Structures are given as C-alpha cells and as structure tokens.
Structure 1
Amino acid sequence: MHILVTNDDGPPSPQSSPYVHSLVTELQAAGHTVSVILPNTQRSWIGKAHIVGQSIAPTYYRPGLLHADTGTTHSRPYRHSPSSTTSGGTAQDTNGNASSTSSSVEEWILIPSTPATCVQLGLHHFFLSRGPVDLVLSGPNYGRNTTAVFALSSGTLGGALEAAVCGRRAIALSYAFFDRENKPEVIREASRHSVRLVEKLMGEEAGKYWEKAHLYSVNVPLVEGVAEKKVLWTEMLQNWWRSGSCFQEVEVPEEEDESPAEREEQLRKQEVGEEADAEAAREDKHIRHTHKHFRWAPQFKDVHESVERSAPGNDGWAIRQGYTSITPLRANFMHVSGFEGELKL
C-alpha cells in the first residue's frame, strides 16, 4: 500500500512527538510505501482547521536514530550527487518525482500549518509519482482521543477527516499512555499491533469495512502485551466539559505586559493628570473590562469521570480496560432527525 502519514504532534521529539518514527519504521518493515508530511511544530487541539492568509514554505526533515532526537531539518530538499548515491536505476526524489539516481537518504516534509493542510498538500502536491495514496494514516497521537470532548478538538482526527472529505480512506490513530516512560519496547509493540490492524481494515475484506464508514478512530493503549488483548468495535462516548472554563487566568506584572511605548504614554498622562480627568468624565454605560492573560488548562477530570460513569462499550471504557478501541465514523456533523418543514417566527 501507499500510505500517507501525518500527525498533529510534529516531527519526532521525546517531549512532544515520541511515536511517529516508530510507526513509520514498522509500516516500512511490513513492505508498505510510506510518505510522511507533518506539521513542523506541535498542533494539538487544532481540529480540522486550515490557516489562511499566508503562503506555506515547507522544510525537509531527515530522521535520525529511532527513539533518539537526532533528526535534522533543512530549508531545501536533499539533492542527489554521485558521492551520496548508490548504483542502480531510476529512483524517486524527496517529493516522489522521478530521479536518475537512487539514495538511501530518507526525507519527510514539514509544513508550518495544520494536519488538515498537510493532508491536502500530501495528496495533491507531493509524492505524486509514487502513485495514488491508498490510505491516510493520521497519528499516532501522543495521548488518547477517546470520547467526544477529545475527538472534536483533535488535530489527529482533523487530519483523517480532511482525507475523508477528499474521498480517501483514513484512520486516526492514537496511543493512550498511562505514564510518561515511553518504553521503546512498548511503543514498538503498539506500532506493530497498529500495522496489523491497518492491514486488516485495508485487506481482503476492506469492502465491508469501508462501505459505510468514511474513517476510523483507533485508540491503542500503551501497555505491555497489547497485541494479545482484545480489539473492540466501540461507539464514541458523548461527554461534556462540566467543570467550567478550559482556560486559567495567569498573573502577569503590569510592567511585563506593557510595551515600552505604552508605559511611556501612561507616565506622561499621569504627569498632567489626564488619566484621572478622563476616568471621571467617562460614563458607565458600557462594561469595563479587566485586562487579563490566560493559558490552556482543560479539566481532564471531566473526561475521566464521564468514562467512569459510563456503561461498557464506548471508546473510553475500552481503553480503561486495556483494550484497543476502533470506532467507525462518518465525515459530517450528522443532523438530528425529527425537525421538518418551516419554522414560523
């Protein structure tokens, strides 16, 4: 198969993207043609967004050692030269275009945009001479994407959704971790397990798996022996943020928040008493805002509690049991039935 891989965690990094290199390695070992196009930085929680109003300049990533932060990023794609090629016939360069020489240098595309944009560019602008893409595989996400609260904001699912609305088969793959150890042998088993699952969905019985589903959300628990545990068809658990805001106010000293020009202007106003006069003259017809800073701080306990309260059979429950969950989805916001005709005002 020709598999296009993207993610929302960016290029390999022990801190933010520890799984994608392992998955690509196992897909290649299984004999698949793997084309990789990723955001150039962390893009979690961005959904299926595109960033408009800017041109996109790719960079080129050459993977290093597996589970080591030794890859390198370059402003221009690798160019073949006699001293860096092996003997042989026609090969492909980093964009999938025909080249008269072959090379052992592997190169991925990095895009300063979102997973959905990566999918668009990967399907229509890069890797073209490799032939049609059979499957878009988005992930593996650094963390679970179970339940509606996580899935609706997931850049991993966003990449798969973009592929689906482009008429391609797509799988969003997420690894649910239970600690931050990221043991190489556990990651390797999860990746090999994921390859088997991908091959099952795309194999001889693919017709029945893709007749109704546009994409799949697959969550794999990062536990030893995951390949021996059950793989369950699941529904996505409907849940909500119930504890309040997903943002936290951050205290910032006024002198750090103001620019030098703003601070200078404030001092000059105070010198001549303008600030007090202006404040006294102002009418209180409009709400007066307090200037604040905020940081992303979602209440994960809302998700955990919703899973604890739920009945068996949903994606969150399956991961909690140590099982792999596979949830078939359609690429739309399905309407609610029962509302027809005219709404009279």
Structure 2
Amino acid sequence: MHILVVNDDGPPSQLSSPFVHSLVVALQNVGHVVSVVLPHTQRSWIGKAHMVGQTIKPTYFRPGTLHQDDGTTHSRPLPAGSDQKEEWVLVDGTPASCVQIGLYHFFKDRGPIDLVVSGPNFGRNSTAVFSLSSGTLGGALEAAICRRKAIALSFAFFSMETPKKPDSAKDPEIVAAATRLSTRLIQHLYDNWGKDVDVYSVNVPLVEGVETRKIMWTNMLQNYWSDGSCFKEVEDEDGNAEEEEEKIREGESGDKVEETNVTRHTHKHFKWAPRFTDVYKSVEAAGPGNDGWAIKKHYSSVTPLKANFMHADAVTQGELKL
C-alpha cells in the first residue's frame, strides 16, 4: 500500500512532534511505501485552512536517528542516484496544503496513493471542541474531499491532567506500543473500510498495556466552550518607533484633545489560552459511547466521519416564509 503521511506538528522534534518518525518507520517495516509531506513548523489548531495568496515553498528533510532531533533540512532535493533513500518534503503551508501537494505534485514514480494518514498528533483530537479546529482532522478531511481514504491519528496523553504521574508521552516503550497498535489498526480499517465513511478519527491513549486494552467504535461528543473568552489579555510588549509616531499623529500623547461622547477602544494584545477544563468537564458529564469517554477509560477510539457539515435535526425542507 502507498501511504501519504502528513501532520500538523511539523518535522520530528521531541518538543513538538515526537511521534511521526516512529509511525513512518513502523509502516515501512510492515511493507508499505510511505511518502511524507509535513508543514515546516508547528501548524496546530489551523483546521482545514489554506494560505490564500501565499507561494508555498518546499524544503527537503532527511530523517536522522529515531527519537533524536538529528534530521537535517536542505533547500534542494537529493540528486538522482544518491545513496541516501529517505527524504521527506516540508512546506511552509498547512496540513491541508500538505495533502494537496503530496497527492498531486510529488511521488509520481511511486504509483497512486491508496491512503492518507494525518498524524500522529501530539495529543488527543476528541470531542467537537478539539476536532473542529484540529489541523490533524483538517489534513484528513482535505484528503477525503480529494476522494482518498483518510485516517486522522492522535496519541492522547494524560500528564497535563495528572501532573504527578510520569510523562507517558515521551516514554519510548509506551510510544512504541501505541505505534504498533496504530499500524495494525490502520491496516484493519483500510481492509474493512465502512460504507459511506470518508474519514476515521482515531485516538490511541499513551498508557501502559495499550495493545491489550479495548478499541471502541465511538461517536464524537458534541460539546461547547463555556462562557468566556479563549484569549487572555497580555501586556503590549511589541511597541516600536512607528507605533509611537502614530500615537503622536493621532493625538494619543501631546496636547489634550477635546473628548466627545464616543466609545474609544483600549489598545490590547491577546494570546490564545483555551480552557481545556471545559472539554474535560463535558466528558465527565456525558454518558458512555463517545470519543471523550473512551479516552477517559484509556480505550482507543475509532470515530467514522463524513467530510461535510451534516444537517441539524430541524425543519429544513420546502419554502422558508418570513
């Protein structure tokens, strides 16, 4: 099978993308042809976006030692006849763009791509709150609308919720077990692809004994952010001479300007600070059977999805009269 691997975490990095190299090696070891296109840097929370107006430029990554950050990036690809075989493509774009470029612009000599695997994501992609913004899901959805079978794969870890326990996300034995299970699961899903399924969203927990734990068919938990912003206000740390000159021109300093009864904005900076506790609370409140519940139980979850926005259960036929 020819598999295209993409992700939203970028090239191998023990800090931000610790799993993709393991998966590629595992898929190759069981006989698959694996082609790889990744964002050149972290692209999480970007969904199925494309950068309109941007010229995407590739670089070429030559993987090093597994679990070590010794791969190298080059501006030009290996020349024909080179001894080194392994070379991935990095692009300054999004996971969805990686799919498009991988499907249509590279790897022609390897034959048609049978399956796109997006991931493994560094962390879970379960419940609607996470999944609707996930670059991992975005890559898989892009493949699906290109008429390819696609699997979004995520490795769920628990150290953020239970900080006193060891960081299983970096335990080589636990990661290796999750990778072996994922490789078997990818093959099973491909061989038994469900009717009308476009994407499987798979979450594998990084826990001891994951290969002996249950794998559950699940639906996606519909949940929501609670009241309040997912951004926090931060100090303006990026002032510069041009901004100060603009303040002077606009009367923000210097002579006092007569004020009228008009609302004025306070200049602020913001940083993305999502409230993950909202997700965990929604899982606790929900019953069994959904993807969040399965991960909480340390089961692997498999959620079949369509690559569309399904209709809500409401009256949506006939004429709408005002």
* TM-score, scaled relative to structure 1: 0.87
Which residue pairs with 1:262 in the alignment? 243
- CA gap 1:289/1:167 in 2 versus in 1, 3 angstroms: same
Q: Which runs of 5+ in 2 are unaligned?
A: 160-166
- Corresponding residue number in structure 1 for 2:149: 169
Query: Contact 1:115 / 1:155 at 8 angstroms: preserved in 2?
Result: yes
- Deviation digits for residues 35-76 of structure 1 (CA, Å, limit 9, x no counterpart): 000000000000000001011110000111100110110110
Of 96, 104, 110, the residue aligned with 1:130 is 110
1:160-309 equivalence runs, <5 A: 160-179=140-159, 180-181=167-168, 182-203=170-191, 206=192, 209-252=193-236, 256-264=237-245, 266=247, 275-276=255-256, 279-280=257-258, 282-285=259-262, 287-309=263-285
State how far apart, in whole Å, the 2-side matches of 1:172 and 1:61 are: 22
CA–CA distance in structure 2, aligned partners of residues 158 and 270 of structure 1 = 45
Number of the residue aligned with 1:105 = 85
Identity %: 62
Q: Alpha-carbon deviation of 1:258? A: 2.8
Cα distance in structure 2, aligned partners of 1:7 and 1:268: 46
Shift of 1:339: 1.8
> Whose radius of gyration is greater, 1 or 2?
1
| Counterpart-to-counterpart distance in 1, 2:82 and 2:186 | 29
Residue 58 of structure 1 corresponds to: 58
1:61-72 mapped onto 2 (5 Å cutoff): 61-72=61-72
Read off the aligned partner of 2:172 and give its amino acid letter.
Answer: P
CA 1:298–1:266: 2 relative to 1, 3 Å? closer
Deviation, structure 1 residue 103: 2.9
Distance 1:244 1:34 in 2: 43
Which of 139, 146, 150 aligns to 2:119? It is: 139
Specify the SS of the correspondent of 1:212. Answer: coil
1:104 shift after superposition: 3.2
Question: What is the letter of the counterpart of residue 216 of structure 1?
Answer: Y
1:340 CA displacement: 1.5
Q: In 2, distance between residues paired with 1:4 and 1:19?
A: 16
Secondary structure class of the residue paired with 1:22:
helix
Asked if the contact 1:243/1:302 (under 8 Å) is kept, the reply is: no
Aligned counterpart for 2:98 among listed residues 103, 109, 118: 118
Q: Which runs of 5+ in 1 are unaligned?
A: 81-100
Q: Structure 2 length normalisation: TM-score? A: 0.93
Number of matched residues? Answer: 313
**Whole-Å separation in 1 of the counterparts to 2:211 and 2:239:** 55
Aligned-partner Cα distance in 2 for 1:211–1:323: 24
1:325 corresponds to which of 301, 316, 319: 301
Shift of 1:33: 0.2
